[in-house]
Amino acid sequence: MSSNDEGSISETETRGYRVTHNKTDPGACRHGNFINYYQFHPAEERLRQLPRGVWHADPTDRKYVGLDVGCNAGNLTLALYDFLRANIDDSSSDNTDLSLLGVDLDPVLIERAKEGNDPNTGRDVTYKCMDFMAAESSGVIDEFLTSKGRDLFDVAFCFSVTMWIHLNHGDSGLVQFLRSVCEKTRIILVEPQPWKCYRNASRRLKRANVADFPMLQSLRYTGEMDTHVENILTEHCGFDKLTESGNNDWGRKLLIFKRKQTKCDNLIDLNE
């Protein structure tokens, strides 16, 4: 960690990737890497929105393998693990090997996640620090899948992460992100942030005297973010909608989609 000119910002650099934490306002951050996220959004409360009956393990395989993208300090990842343990739907769920991979670009959060992952609980949860948008991320994902004898995850969770990808990588980055996740999973769950959160994120940066998101003004996917995410997944990633939840207390819903083809085709031109 080191201080920069702004004094209140600390930076951490891992594998060439730099993230910042604002000490005066921990809510002013560029990637949603809030250090105190679960004080405000308790993980257990968020499980209430999850439907039952969509978490099917293949009975011949007897494995259920999940990915949590943007796992922060791992609190929700562990809660998801316990939820899946109780809700995987197969004829012999007690015998299903459940494993989860949580990834986040912030090394401090990943360290915390590892510290909170008590090996005595018997949960098979692995955490890796990586930027999902970086080229080398697919190697980390593939290595994990191979270690589980798989090509695909059964489920990939994307809770409250799409806005940060969108703000930092633009419309094409959002599409690329969803395509990349879809290429690696049978089911994808997305909890998109409503558009007003984009404005709030920008306002907090400005208030903390930090440069705004440079791509914010050029975004074409604005307004109804749930609809944009749904259109990208169904029209450009080869997924069908399975179900969606109602809004939670802070106006977010869960959208769940299922792969309809073996490969993502019908892809759009990212340069258009």
Ligand X SMILES: C[S@@+](CC[C@H](N)C(=O)[O-])C[C@H]1O[C@@H](n2cnc3c(N)ncnc32)[C@H](O)[C@@H]1O
The one among 72, 96, 117, 185 contacting ligand X by CB under 6 A: 72
Would the CA dihedral through 13, 165, 81, 60 be positive or negative? negative
Taking the least distance from each CB to ligand X, the nearer of 105 and 225 is 105
Residue at token pair 């039952």: 52
| Residue span binding ligand X (CB under 6 A) among the ranges 28-36, 58-66, 182-190, 259-267 | 28-36
Residue with tokens 């930090």: 210
For 261, the token pair is: 């083809």
Give dist(CA 37, CA 26) in Å, integer: 9
For residues 79 to 118, the per-residue mask of contacts with ligand X, x marking binding by CB under 6 A and - elsewhere, is ------------------------xxxx--x---------
Closest CA to 145 of 185, 86, 195, 92: 185
Q: Determine the residue with CB nearest ligand X.
A: 70
Dist. CA 180–CA 162, nearest whole Å? 13
Choice from 33, 117, 162, 180 touching ligand X (CB under 6 A): 33
- Least Å distance between CB 130 and ligand X? 6
Candidates 9, 50, 76, 125; binder of ligand X (CB under 6 A) is 76
| Residue (44 or 97) nearer to ligand X, CB | 44
**Among positions 164, 198, 221, 239, the unique one binding ligand X when judged by CB under 6 A:** 164
Please state the φ and ψ torsions of residue 72, each to the nearest 5 degrees: 55, -130
At residue 5, the 3 state secondary structure works out as coil
Q: Shortest Cβ distance from residue 168 to ligand X (Å)? A: 7
* Shortest reach from residue 106's CB to ligand X, in Å: 4
E-state strands within 118-265:
125-129, 153-159, 185-191, 239-244, 255-259
- Point out which span in 66-74, 82-90, 207-215, 264-272 binds ligand X (CB under 6 A): 66-74
Which two three-digit tokens encode residue 231?
């259109």
> Binding of ligand X at residue 20 (CB under 6 A)?
no
* Under rule CB under 6 A, residue 159 binds ligand X: yes
